[in-house]
Amino acid sequence: MSQRSSPGPWFAAPVAIFMLVCFAAPIFIVAWYSLMPSRTFGLTGDLTLENYRSAVTDGYTRPLMWSLIGAATTTLATAILAWPTAVILHRYAGRWAAVASALIALPIFISESVRLFGMSVFMMPRGGILAGTMNAVFDIQIGSILNTWSAAQIGMIYIHLPFMLFPLLLGVSLIPADRIEAARDLGATRWQTFREVELPLAAPGLLIGMLLTFVLCLGANAEAAILGGRAVTVITAAIEQRFNYAQDWPMGAALTVIVILVTALIVLPVLSRLDLNRLTRR
């Protein structure tokens, strides 16, 4: 009797084809385009690394560093804000947790540009909601942070907080209450309980939230454009300029490949240490 073959490869084939056509092939095309001479609009020509050399010598490392710093700062800030929020929603909100979670998630379904323009109205120096309220209620004249990097940073935190909160909420739900009670019975302080019990158990959800937030922030452009007023040029804005305005597609492709490589160097080592099965078995 012949052994029946496993149907697994057949079920995986559609996903594999989709990933090959829609993910691997575009990346390969962009990588190949990055090796073309400057201002070439085809995939044929002498291969060169000149675009990568120009990316280093022509000052594109600065936008990349601003993007990395902004993504890291936003990830840290959202983690600090999301942890107590996740704990409160999981342990103390009770039946109101679902309502609070829905209200937090609701802005995701609204255009990001609309929300950012709303924040710009809030931050305006004269006629803005914040300045007008402080002047009317407390008779205090305050300046505006609009069109600064600080405004863009606040916008990034506001936009990306839900992407940190919900994976972290899943991670917090993995912490058994009896572990916390046992640690306190053994005389552990609140900080010791957090460091030795809560944080390690919630680490998978926290790491997923941090990775998701970091990757999204690294590719963010609207916050710098709308709230920052281009006070600082991020790498995505530089890529857009090379593709659209300068019509230098190979240079834009080279910058894109650099961003992909930097993201992979940061994300893949963390993903390799994540136990996703632990989250799915809860």
Domain 11-280 homologous superfamily, CATH: MetI-like (1.10.3720.10)
Rounded mean pLDDT, 59-76: 92
pLDDT band at 251 (very low <50, low <70, confident <90, very high): very high
Sequence-distant (6+) residues with CB within 8 A of 100 are 89, 93
Side chain identity, residue 2: S
pLDDT digits (tens, 9 = 90+) for 183-213: 888 888 888 998 898 988 888 889 999 999 9
Are the beta carbons of 246 and 51 closer than 8 angstroms?
A: no
Sequence-distant (6+) residues with CB within 8 A of 103 are none
**Any idea how long the chain is?**
282
The C-alpha angle 93, 94, 96, rounded to 5 degrees, equals: 70
Q: Is the dihedral of CA 70, 75, 81, 85 positive or negative?
A: positive
Axis-axis angle for helices 149-172, 97-105 (nearest 10) = 150
Distance CA 219, CA 113 (A): 15
pLDDT band at 71 (very low <50, low <70, confident <90, very high): very high
* Host H or E run for residue 282: none
Note the pLDDT of residue 239: 92
pLDDT digits (tens, 9 = 90+) for 75-129: 999 999 999 999 998 888 777 888 888 888 888 888 888 898 888 877 776 656 6
* CA 114 to chain CA centroid, nearest Å: 19
**Nearest of 116, 114, 128 to residue 224 by alpha carbon:** 116
Note the pLDDT of residue 138: 64
- 133 or 192: whose pLDDT is higher? 192
pLDDT band at 1 (very low <50, low <70, confident <90, very high): very low
pTM for the full model?
0.84
Look up tokens 């992909």; give the residue: 260
Axis-axis angle for helices 50-57, 249-272 (nearest 10) = 80
Are the beta carbons of 108 and 162 closer than 8 angstroms?
A: yes
In Å, how far are 119, 213, 261 from 159, measured between CA atoms?
Answer: 11, 10, 25
In Å, how far are 58, 240, 244, 250, 272 from 232, measured between CA atoms?
Answer: 16, 15, 19, 24, 33
Distance CA 237, CA 212 (A): 20
Rounded mean pLDDT, 258-282: 78
Note the pLDDT of residue 135: 64
Is the pLDDT at 20 greater than 70? The verdict is: yes
pLDDT band at 235 (very low <50, low <70, confident <90, very high): very high
Is the pLDDT at 136 greater than 90? The verdict is: no
pLDDT band at 2 (very low <50, low <70, confident <90, very high): very low
Q: Where are the domains of the chain?
A: 11-280
The C-alpha angle 121, 83, 69, rounded to 5 degrees, equals: 60
Is the pLDDT at 3 greater than 60? The verdict is: no
Rounded mean pLDDT, 64-82: 94
pLDDT band at 44 (very low <50, low <70, confident <90, very high): confident
Distance CA 159, CA 115 (A): 8
Rounded mean pLDDT, 12-40: 89
